[in-house]
Structure 1
Amino acid sequence: MGRAWGRADEWLVRHWRTVVVLAWLAYAAYYLFSRYAQVRGFALGDTDDNLRLAQVRALLDGQGWFDLRQHRLDPVHGGADIHWSRLVDLPIAGLILALRPFVGGVEAERWACAIAPLLPMLPMLGAIAVLTRRLVSPRAAVLALAAMVFAGSTMGMYYPLRIDHHGWQLAFLAIVLAGLADPRRARGGLTTGVASALSLTIGLEMMIYLALAGVAQVFFWIVDPSERRRLIAYAGSLAAGTAVGFVLFASYANRAAVCDALSPVWLSDAMVGGALLVGLAFLPGRLTSSWAVRLAMAAVAGAIVAAFHALAFPQCLSRLEGVSPLATELWLSHVKEARPIYRHSAEIATLTLALPIGGLLGYLLLAWRARRASMKLARTLAVAAPAFTALALLMWQTRTGPAAQMMAVPGSVAIAFFLAPRAFRSENSLVRVLGTVTVVLIGMGAAVPLLSNYLPFPKELPKAMGKLVATANRRCPSLAALRPVNVQPKGTIFTFVDFGPRIIAMTKHNAITGPYHRNDRAIADSMLAFRGDARNARRIIVDTYRADYVLVCPNQSSATIFMAEAKKGFYVQLAAGKVPSWLQPVDLGPKSPWKMWKVVG
């Protein structure tokens, strides 16, 4: 058995690329099988997935490459301004075009949306395997691939139908980390720079981690001046890649000095920063012989970039989304993923934090083991810094959970890889058995997910109300429930903010808005309409947005906000049957979870 295990271990190490592909195929097959019902029901569960499909359809129907306005949201005011890029649209559109001749238009869209999220999972798994091989051991890569099972927040970004950009951004972030851990300087710098540029082209959600990766390149050079090749490769590829990304993918709106997407703001920062870093790397050796001098020069370069940004783009010194205080109070403060982790249920907090905390301990272990090798220690700390930052940011917004879990995996696996053998060699049988199992479960991130069903977590809502909300959340977005809505004469529907993208993706109707911060005026108006009285609602719905219909889903998550905070508001009146004369009920059938009215006056 020992010889057989040795041969298997040798094969896994030698053919690790094949193992990555096999793991990807296994994950993909399982996800397609387990979520087949959702695929058949075209259950695009997230607002961003629905809007992404609407954006791809618009592109295939002839909308301009650089025109990213969604003209079916808020059509009376020229459409909704969307801050995304077309880069993520490309694989979805390509799959639709490739599948259409074989299965027809509807099925092509359905299966394109099922397959597209699985594509970035392969480079993500590959990069995590490479990162683990470099920081922990070539033999630990298989453990990292297996540990991804318990990174639920991360892997949820790769489920079929999860077609938004988060999966691609996580993949590029993993490649950035693999570049940081690369002992080959030029290749590592090039990998980090190109992956950073691609991530920025998609969006700015990973910017803080990318910035830390940039700081790490300078840190390497400060520790060892021979790292100049890495610094040159990184700076040149970042500046060039960002410029190419801007030219090819920046929308008309993003060519202005906006703060929430790749625009002249961040392009200028990348170009100035890249030029300064290349300049540092090319300084004569006699000027940079001391680490203290290199540190001082790097500090000056950083100060120049910061001063340039502050003086040239002062509007981008505060929160990048620029959401108005009113929209923040009425809408953003209620968005669950924008809340800190401690404001969620104990179950969600525990499941989200378990792996990042294990990763924190594992990176400390790796740093201690590398303490006598300066550059290996530097590379370990460079990877650990974004992982620690993501864990800390969970105290600000829960949306950092997928990145925090993914970046924690190599560190967490190190616990199992290095400590489990020591526990197994113990002379104490209790330590040998229970200690080994405990260390493996903690290191693989499996302990909390496996025990969660047996822990007495309190529920966020009372049991009866929780069931009503869950039922409404499930039924209203379904194709069956939307079919009677779709047969009504085409018009503009005024509904909850989160339902706007689903309406335009699954029906012929237009909607008013979706949860996209550049359209915070429409978001605030929508919230105010349902909170205020009928007279105020008519002013917003009819006079401002010229809507043809009002559509609500009783007891859905958005409805609970109005029920709790506006007990005499327009939504509560509608739900109670107190309908104003300017609305006429629309019969959607006795089993419909929706309530719909036509605007008649």
Structure 2
Amino acid sequence: MTASAQATRRWPWPVAVLFWLAFSAFLLAGKAGPVSQLVLPDADDYVRLVQVEQWLDGGGFRDVGLPRLDPPAGVVMHWSRLPDLPIAAVILAVEPFSDRQTAVTAALLVVPALYMLGFLLLVTAISARLFGPGPALLAPLLAIFAVPAIGAFMPGRIDHHNIQVLLALVMLDAATRLYAGQGRRWAIVMGAAGGLAIAIGAEALPQILACYAALGLGWILGRPAMLRAGLLMSTTLAATASGILVLAVARNSYFAAACDSLSLVYVVATGLAAAVWAILWALDRFLTTAAARALVAAVLAAGALAILLAAYPACAGGPYGALPQELKESWLASVDEAQSALHLARKDMTRLNIHLLLPVIALVGLSLGAWRHRDNPVWLPLLVFTGVTLAIAILQIRATTAANAIAIIGAVHAYAALYDGVRRRARALPHLAASAVVIALLPLSIFAATGGLSERAAQTERRAVACGLPQSLAVLDTLPPGAVMAPANLGAIILAHTRHAVFAAHYHRDVDGLLAAQRVFEAASPDVALAEIRRKKADYVVVCLGKGPYGLKAPNADSFAGSLVAGAAPSWLSRVPDDKLEIFRVMP
């Protein structure tokens, strides 16, 4: 591992740019057409677009409510306005020279592409600084093969996960620079990136924890500079989060106790963390052994956590703590990204491979490297960031996006070491053959060998013929605007492609809407379904009878959904002719 100025100057940024140009061209060839028709990769992208356009059409900057989700009250989303800024900027720049749809398409293509360029440049630059320009050539290749991470940068991906990946890499870069003795300013960079990340979404918590752990462990093991860096980092993080709360959150929500988004809870939490670092700094001269430092740090951290949970007991259950038990059992249990790796392993081992294989390879490679280079402290933050994010990803699959992005750095070392090992043990082996051995062991190659790619292709084909395509909603959009009772998997696309309101979409704050849809479609009789439909004042009932991500999920034959599938709609529903969806008007 090297951190020489020469290696830093020679980092192969042109390779990263070439990878970006080639991969972007490949993606645009297949994705530009669908994206121009507003066929987006994920429900979150549809709702993010709805939120951006709502703001551009006169909504308030601090107002992240969706009035068309579960009307009449609407749902205040847990999302930050900050990721909307670059999307809105592109739309505003293009719209004067075209129409809104063209401007939106430009934003859907340009914003993720620019984020991807930043991603490839970051992993290449960090790898070059740590391991040298030669091994760093692997970084963009591994980045493209890190499916959970690179997936956040696909055309149309405008949700906030791509920004959080970039901020996670900035935090890791700053941590390694601090261990390399490059100045305390990197503590400020780390804290500012952490504060911005936590303001964007609670998914950044694993990386924030890794920041605290990396600097705290360094101090415990006898590096006093890490204590000063930790104090500066934690103070900057708390100040950044507090400042964004004041600037970007609705004024009437300043003192709200939200566990799933930037709120007073996170300001108190980051403030308590800064207080812990300040107390450790004050006590440092009395703590002369690693054991004493570890004990005091653990006691203070536990005390801060106890104070936080005593002040906000609802947050003990995490971001989903306020969700009713009924929804936890019936809805949350079916959301794959909220489940553990063990849950996913029972369902789909190939998906588990692609989610966790690269972080495991990186952790093993870094562990071996740290053992061989025990005198170089820069290995410690790499191990901590990789280990912490992998552990959280095992507990909840949604964390694999950042875990895979961070793992790229460790995997660069692992595969470079593998290449060197193959060459040393078989000196007659040509470079090309040694490279083939390494490529054969890349995660995407292993994934393909286990049948994962063919399954992904089949899933993509099923999605393409599912009811969620925009043209499938054409008839629905011609009807007078009203409130639609539909399964939650149709909610986001109805919001994005029609003028209608919907009651249910896959968002944990949409509690009453989710419960209403569940009670309607699982009702034991049409009369029970009608009572709930009347309570919510729905104008239409819409279902997709086809297979795929937007279809009804194998409804019970005795349920209301089952009767719709069987073609036995009750008399109080009037069918609207459509060959794509089953659309019914609710009769007075």
TM-score using structure 2 length? 0.90
CA distance in 2, matches of 1:79, 1:456: 40
Equivalent residue for 1:211? 209
Equivalent residue for 2:390? 388
Is the Cα–Cα contact under 8 Å of residues 190 and 237 in structure 1 kept in the other structure? Answer: yes
* Stretches of structure 1 lacking an aligned partner (at least 5 in a row): 1-9
What's the CA shift for 1:17? Answer: 3.8
* Stretches of structure 2 lacking an aligned partner (at least 5 in a row): 1-5
Is the Cα–Cα contact under 8 Å of residues 193 and 237 in structure 1 kept in the other structure? Answer: yes
What's the CA shift for 1:387? Answer: 4.0
CA distance in 1, matches of 2:79, 2:303: 29
What's the CA shift for 1:143? Answer: 0.8
Equivalent residue for 2:528? 536
What's the CA shift for 1:195? Answer: 1.1
TM-aligned CA distance change 1:197 to 1:474, over 3 Å: farther
TM-aligned CA distance change 1:320 to 1:362, over 3 Å: same
CA-based RMSD: 2.8
Equivalent residue for 2:55? 59
Is the Cα–Cα contact under 8 Å of residues 136 and 410 in structure 1 kept in the other structure? Answer: no
Q: 1:99 aligns with which of 87, 94, 100?
A: 94
What's the CA shift for 1:227? Answer: 2.8
Equivalent residue for 1:351? 354
Tell me if 1:547 matches 2:534: no
TM-aligned CA distance change 1:325 to 1:172, over 3 Å: same
Is the Cα–Cα contact under 8 Å of residues 50 and 496 in structure 2 kept in the other structure? Answer: yes
CA distance in 1, matches of 2:409, 2:77: 35
For 1:291-306, list aligned pairs within 5 A: 291-306=290-305
TM-aligned CA distance change 1:254 to 1:140, over 3 Å: farther
Could you list the per-position Cα deviations for residues 371-424 of structure 1 after superposition, in whole angstroms to 9, with x for gaps in the alignment?
Answer: 133x2343333333224324xx33x43323322322221222212212312321
Tell me if 1:261 matches 2:253: no
TM-aligned CA distance change 1:518 to 1:345, over 3 Å: same
TM-aligned CA distance change 1:273 to 1:346, over 3 Å: closer
CA distance in 1, matches of 2:375, 2:360: 25
What's the CA shift for 1:93? Answer: 0.9
CA distance in 1, matches of 2:566, 2:479: 24
Tell me if 1:567 matches 2:557: yes
Could you list the per-position Cα deviations for residues 67-118 of structure 1 after superposition, in whole angstroms to 9, with x for gaps in the alignment?
Answer: 2110011122x10121111001111111111110112111111221222222
Q: 2:380 aligns with which of 375, 378, 381?
A: 378
Equivalent residue for 1:6? none
1:35 aligns to what SS in structure 2?
Answer: helix
TM-aligned CA distance change 1:418 to 1:558, over 3 Å: closer
1:517 aligns to what SS in structure 2?
Answer: coil
Tell me if 1:599 matches 2:579: no
Is the Cα–Cα contact under 8 Å of residues 336 and 344 in structure 2 kept in the other structure? Answer: no
Equivalent residue for 2:3? none
What's the CA shift for 1:561? Answer: 5.9
CA distance in 1, matches of 2:247, 2:64: 13
Equivalent residue for 1:190? 188
Is the Cα–Cα contact under 8 Å of residues 72 and 504 in structure 1 kept in the other structure? Answer: yes
* Counterpart residue identity of residue 559, structure 2: G
* Counterpart residue identity of residue 102, structure 1: F
1:320 aligns to what SS in structure 2?
Answer: coil
Equivalent residue for 2:414? 415
Equivalent residue for 2:162? 167
* Counterpart residue identity of residue 212, structure 1: A
What's the CA shift for 1:30? Answer: 2.9
CA distance in 2, matches of 1:560, 1:488: 21
Equivalent residue for 1:5? none
Is the Cα–Cα contact under 8 Å of residues 246 and 254 in structure 2 kept in the other structure? Answer: no
Equivalent residue for 1:4? none
For 1:44-193, list aligned pairs within 5 A: 44-76=40-72, 78-182=73-177, 183=180, 184-193=182-191
Could you list the per-position Cα deviations for residues 30-50 of structure 1 after superposition, in whole angstroms to 9, with x for gaps in the alignment?
Answer: 322231221222102311111
Equivalent residue for 1:325? 325
Could you list the per-position Cα deviations for residues 518-548 of structure 1 after superposition, in whole angstroms to 9, with x for gaps in the alignment?
Answer: 122221220121111211111112x221111
TM-aligned CA distance change 1:145 to 1:490, over 3 Å: same
For 1:495-510, list aligned pairs within 5 A: 495-510=486-501
1:218 aligns to what SS in structure 2?
Answer: helix
Is the Cα–Cα contact under 8 Å of residues 421 and 436 in structure 1 kept in the other structure? Answer: no
Work out the number of aligned pairs and report it.
Answer: 573
Equivalent residue for 1:360? 363
Could you list the per-position Cα deviations for residues 545-586 of structure 1 after superposition, in whole angstroms to 9, with x for gaps in the alignment?
Answer: 11111111113446766425x221111111211011111011
Tell me if 1:583 matches 2:573: yes
TM-aligned CA distance change 1:61 to 1:432, over 3 Å: closer
CA distance in 2, matches of 1:154, 1:429: 36
For 1:453-468, list aligned pairs within 5 A: none
CA distance in 2, matches of 1:308, 1:397: 25
Q: Which piece of structure 1 moves more, 103-112 or 131-140?
A: 131-140
TM-aligned CA distance change 1:135 to 1:238, over 3 Å: same
What's the CA shift for 1:191? Answer: 2.2
Equivalent residue for 1:7? none
For 1:215-254, list aligned pairs within 5 A: 215-222=213-220, 223-251=222-250, 252-253=252-253
CA distance in 2, matches of 1:585, 1:291: 73
* Counterpart residue identity of residue 495, structure 1: A
TM-aligned CA distance change 1:291 to 1:428, over 3 Å: closer
Equivalent residue for 1:522? 513
Is the Cα–Cα contact under 8 Å of residues 234 and 277 in structure 2 kept in the other structure? Answer: yes
TM-score using structure 1 length? 0.88
